[in-house]
């Protein structure tokens, strides 16, 4: 199905099932422990062995031939695989050949061997017997030091590295009011609950991976290229994923090493990366240095805005696209953005929830507050004043829908923004300094092809099949709701199969595109199935409706099960998009309001309450959508106050590589959260009239926290995380 215009007589608009805050259909499986995660496939895969991955102890250099004889001779050991006996590995689309190091070492904890044994303990013990001799080389581990040699990247996800409109230099120089500041964000880790884990099994020349992966089709092709086998000889299965946040978009070392270990030993091999490997072996969000300049009239209209960002990655990597939102968020005729990429020999930098916008808005939305203060304007008023209904870099392209100002007006009224004192460090509750902060939320709405197959059987049960994944976001539920709405059945008459490469290729889970695009693919397949049902019953009529498990035309009512009485009916299709996203800029918007208390004596920060107002088209399930937003808000608090991968700049690794020392918020840190979804639909987005929301909730949160801390204390911190050592000396004295 090609989508290029709003559908007429759209069955989704009935909203009998879609749009309702229904419980997760997979909830009972998860709370009873029967959901089959990658490492839990005990019974379905017999004769499993265990693999333990050995990581490099240096960040850059070479390995001399390893002595693995003691490991091979250890009790229970079935085999040892290194680069010397792994065979030639091809280069996948996502640098998978680098997942196994040797003799060259690219980063600390790069996998250099896997030991396969009868038990996990035997594999782990034997791995320590491998004798590795390294020749160290000098590496680059400091972003600030590497900025001088940073280059303009040739290709980035989502556009060009630089952009411009008007004449920024001239416009900024001429602006009556100018602002110029530099901000820093640190390296951050995904730290999801479920580690990267895989069970690999070979059946002849066919490989099956039961793994934890967000993008099934991408990864199926990638592992095939890496191992040099046809794509049809690889099957991936990921029906349940215990968190991803972008870290599981690609094949990682757990999958490749399990496959190599299984091929070498002739046994299914189970691998789960140890928690330290989650930080130094898999991908992370890279640190940034960002310079923002804003020029405005005395009245507060932006006339020039410039945003430059520096980040680093391994050779051949890409930048953190931290300037992308600045190209679209605020008006202003003279514009400039630029990204520069430094070579760093740290573990791979790549996507983490809301890549680009999350760290980019950590800087931009503090700068907007600082400029508002310089102008003597309320931060909410300043943002609304510089709203736009067209792409600022391409004014001929309007937004498909933009309720940016409404997000702020609604949020300000609900949060009690009028109680905020514009003068910092003036509100108190005993020894607590109180402050309010605000920031915009923005995330682009990306459109991806997505396919599905829908079956109807003689019992009237509808089964949906697509390789879409559920990373805890509620994919099972909204896909079931879509099929139920389209086919006119109750939710208990819908079964959903996800996360298997033998199923039609979906959009996958990533980039906030998964929910809207995968349900649109199910919509397209259901349109086909409706046609099949009508044809089978001889009621192919334009006024036919699917209601309460029946096909109805006029006074005739025929149960759907009757259509499939003789044979199962199948509808399969995919959603594709014409140029609707080129004619219109599609984005999601929001506002974040935060109130904090800062202990005037100790500097301790406590979040008191948070509010997010989101504008993201039709909300397919308000309950699961709210869960996504409050989880993202919590991540935003972590980014603001505590999350930082500490880099050992001598040895080139992340020191705090476990959940004891990499701090994240806990329940006690987040006392009260509220989410408001604006009542809207975007008919130009998809047939579902929905957009994504899972990443919008993190964008801007950290800046809102930072702005609240400033309002409470009068101390401005531009270097995240905002730890008390950065502002305690500037606190007003305890009353």
CATH no. for residue 481?
Answer: 3.30.365.10
Specify the DSSP class assigned to residue 14.
G
Q: Is 288 part of a structural domain of the chain?
A: no
Out of 523, 546, 580, pick the residue that ends a domain. Answer: 580
Shared domain for 550 and 622, answered yes or no, is: no
Query: Are 353 and 362 within 8 A, CB to CB?
Result: no
The catalytic position among 320, 568, 695, 733 is: 695
Shared domain for 553 and 453, answered yes or no, is: yes
Shared domain for 422 and 471, answered yes or no, is: no
The predicted pLDDT at position 156 comes to: 85
Q: Is 327 part of a structural domain of the chain?
A: no
Shared domain for 722 and 593, answered yes or no, is: yes
Query: How many CB atoms neighbour CB 625 within 10 A?
Result: 26
Strands 556-559 and 550-553 come out as antiparallel
Shared domain for 591 and 720, answered yes or no, is: yes
Q: Is 137 part of a structural domain of the chain?
A: no
Strands 2-3 and 556-559 come out as unpaired
Which has the closest alpha carbon to 627: 409, 436, 470, 464? 470
**Structural domain of 468:** 2-35+447-580
Shared domain for 392 and 501, answered yes or no, is: no
Alpha-carbon torsion angle 380, 382, 384, 388, nearest 10? -150
Q: How far is CA 463 from CA 10, 466, 551, 571, in A?
A: 21, 10, 18, 10
Q: For the chain, what is the largest distance between any 2 Cα atoms, rounded to a whole number of angstroms?
A: 83
Shared domain for 545 and 453, answered yes or no, is: yes
In whole angstroms, give the CA distance from residue 328 to residue 661. Answer: 37
Q: How far is CA 197 from CA 156, 208, 213, 390, in A?
A: 29, 14, 9, 45
Shared domain for 518 and 605, answered yes or no, is: no
Out of 535, 561, 580, pick the residue that ends a domain. Answer: 580
Q: Is 211 part of a structural domain of the chain?
A: no
In whole angstroms, give the CA distance from residue 695 to residue 614. Answer: 11
Beta bridge partners of 175: none
Dihedral-angle region of residue 713 (phi above 0 means left; psi in -120 to 50 means alpha; beta otherwise): alpha
Out of 580, 605, 628, pick the residue that ends a domain. Answer: 580
The predicted pLDDT at position 515 comes to: 98
By CB atoms closer than 10 A (0-12, 13-18, 19+), residue 390 is middle
Shared domain for 475 and 567, answered yes or no, is: yes
- How many CA atoms does the CB half-sphere of 263 hold within 13 Å? 18
User: Which DSSP string corresponds to 617-686?
Assistant: BS-S-HHHHHHHHHHHHHHHHHHHHT----EETTTTEES--STTTS----GGG---EEEEE-----TTT-
Mean pLDDT, each 10-residue run in order, the chain (735 residues): 85 97 97 93 87 98 96 98 96 81 97 98 98 98 98 86 98 98 98 96 98 98 97 98 97 97 98 96 98 98 98 95 98 98 97 97 99 98 98 97 98 98 96 98 96 98 98 97 98 98 98 97 98 93 92 94 97 94 94 98 97 98 98 98 98 96 96 97 96 97 98 98 96 80
Task: Provide the CA 279 distance to its chain's centre, in angstroms.
Answer: 17
The predicted pLDDT at position 735 comes to: 63
Q: Is 708 part of a structural domain of the chain?
A: yes
Which residue carries 């080139």 as its tokens? 652
Shared domain for 590 and 726, answered yes or no, is: yes
- Report pTM: 0.97
In whole angstroms, give the CA distance from residue 392 to residue 225. Answer: 41
Query: What's the domain count of the chain?
Result: 2
Q: How far is CA 25 from CA 31, 496, 520, in A?
A: 12, 9, 19
Q: How far is CA 365 from CA 317, 417, 591, 619, 703, in A?
A: 27, 17, 11, 26, 6
Q: Is 66 part of a structural domain of the chain?
A: no
Query: Are 516 and 688 within 8 A, CB to CB?
Result: yes
Is position 348 annotated as part of the catalytic site?
no
Q: Is 104 part of a structural domain of the chain?
A: no
Shared domain for 597 and 666, answered yes or no, is: yes
Q: Is 217 part of a structural domain of the chain?
A: no
Shared domain for 634 and 591, answered yes or no, is: yes
Length of the chain: 735
Strands (E) in 297-431, as ranges, are: 302-313, 334-343, 390-391, 394-398, 427-429
Which residue carries 């952009």 as its tokens? 163
In whole angstroms, give the CA distance from residue 544 to residue 300. Answer: 56
In whole angstroms, give the CA distance from residue 289 to residue 306. Answer: 14
Which has the closest alpha carbon to 217: 496, 471, 507? 507
């Amino acid at each position: 199905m090609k989508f290029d215009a709003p559908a007429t007589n759209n069955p989704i608009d009935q909203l009998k099932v879609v749009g309702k805050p229904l419980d997760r259909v997979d909830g009972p499986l998860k709370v009873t422990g029967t959901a089959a995660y990658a490492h839990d496939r005990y019974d379905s895969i017999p004769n499993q062995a265990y693999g333990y991955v050995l990581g490099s102890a240096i960040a850059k250099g070479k390995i001399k031939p390893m002595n693995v004889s003691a490991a091979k001779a250890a009790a229970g050991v079935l085999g040892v695989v290194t680069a010397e006996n792994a065979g030639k590995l091809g280069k996948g689309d996502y640098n998978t050949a680098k997942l196994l190091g040797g003799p060259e070492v690219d980063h600390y904890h790069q996998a250099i061997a896997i030991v396969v044994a009868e038990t996990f303990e035997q594999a782990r013990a034997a791995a320590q017997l491998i004798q590795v001799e390294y020749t160290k080389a000098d590496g680059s581990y400091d972003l600030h030091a590497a900025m001088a040699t940073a280059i303009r990247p040739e290709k980035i996800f989502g556009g060009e590295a630089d952009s411009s409109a008007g004449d920024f230099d001239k416009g900024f120089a001429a602006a009556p009011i100018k602002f110029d500041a530099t901000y820093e964000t640190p390296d951050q880790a995904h730290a999801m609950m479920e580690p990267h884990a895989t069970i690999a099994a070979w059946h002849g020349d066919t490989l099956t991976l039961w793994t934890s992966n967000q993008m099934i089709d991408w990864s199926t092709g990638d592992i095939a290229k890496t191992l040099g086998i046809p794509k049809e000889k690889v099957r991936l299965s990921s029906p349940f994923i215990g968190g991803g946040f972008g870290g599981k978009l690609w094949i990682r070392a757990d999958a490749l090493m399990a496959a190599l270990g299984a091929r070498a030993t002739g046994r299914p091999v189970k691998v789960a990366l140890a928690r330290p490997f989650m930080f130094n072996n898999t991908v992370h969000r890279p640190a940034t240095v960002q310079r923002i300049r804003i020029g405005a009239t005395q009245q507060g209209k932006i006339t020039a805005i410039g945003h430059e960002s520096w980040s680093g990655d391994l050779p051949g990597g890409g930048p953190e696209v931290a300037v992308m939102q600045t190209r679209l968020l605020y008006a202003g005729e003279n514009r400039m953005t630029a990204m520069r990429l430094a070579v760093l020999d740290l573990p791979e930098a790549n996507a983490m929830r809301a890549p680009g916008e999350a760290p980019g808005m950590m800087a931009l939305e503090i700068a907007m507050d600082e400029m508002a203060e310089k102008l003597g304007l309320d931060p909410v008023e300043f943002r609304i004043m510089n709203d736009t209904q067209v792409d600022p870099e391409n004014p001929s392209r309007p937004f498909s829908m933009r309720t940016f100002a409404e997000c702020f007006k609604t949020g300000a009224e609900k949060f009690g923004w009028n109680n905020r004192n514009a003068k910092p460090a003036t509100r108190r509750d005993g020894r607590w300094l109180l402050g309010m902060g605000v920031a915009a939320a923005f995330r682009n709405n990306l459109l991806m092809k997505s396919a599905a197959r829908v079956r109807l059987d003689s019992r009237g049960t509808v089964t949906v099949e697509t390789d879409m994944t559920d990373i805890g976001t509620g994919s099972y539920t909204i896909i079931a709701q879509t099929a139920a709405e389209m086919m006119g059945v109750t939710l208990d008459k819908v079964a959903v199969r996800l996360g298997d490469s033998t199923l039609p290729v979906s959009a996958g889970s990533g980039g906030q595109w998964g929910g809207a695009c995968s349900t649109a693919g199910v919509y397209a397949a259901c349109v086909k199935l409706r046609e099949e049902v009508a044809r089978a019953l001889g009621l192919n009529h334009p006024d036919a409706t699917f209601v309460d498990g029946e096909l109805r035309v006029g006074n005739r009512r025929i149960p759907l099960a009757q259509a499939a009485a003789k044979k199962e009916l199948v509808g399969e299709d995919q959603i594709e998009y014409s140029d609707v996203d080129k004619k219109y800029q599609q984005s999601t918007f929001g506002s974040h309001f935060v109130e904090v208390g800062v202990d005037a004596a100790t500097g301790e920060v406590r979040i008191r309450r948070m509010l997010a107002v989101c504008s993201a088209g039709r909300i397919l399930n308000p309950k699961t959508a709210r869960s996504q937003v409050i989880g993202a808000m919590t991540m935003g608090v972590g980014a603001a106050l505590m999350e930082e991968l500490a880099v050992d700049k001598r040895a080139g690794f992340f020191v705090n590589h476990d959940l004891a020392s990499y701090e994240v918020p806990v329940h006690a840190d987040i006392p009260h959260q509220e989410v408001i979804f604006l009542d809207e639909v975007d008919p130009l987005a998809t047939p579902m009239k929905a957009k994504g929301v899972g990443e919008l909730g993190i964008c801007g949160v950290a800046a809102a926290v930072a702005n609240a801390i400033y309002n409470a204390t009068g101390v401005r911190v531009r270097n995240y995380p905002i730890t008390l050592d950065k502002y305690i000396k500037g606190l007003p004295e305890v009353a």
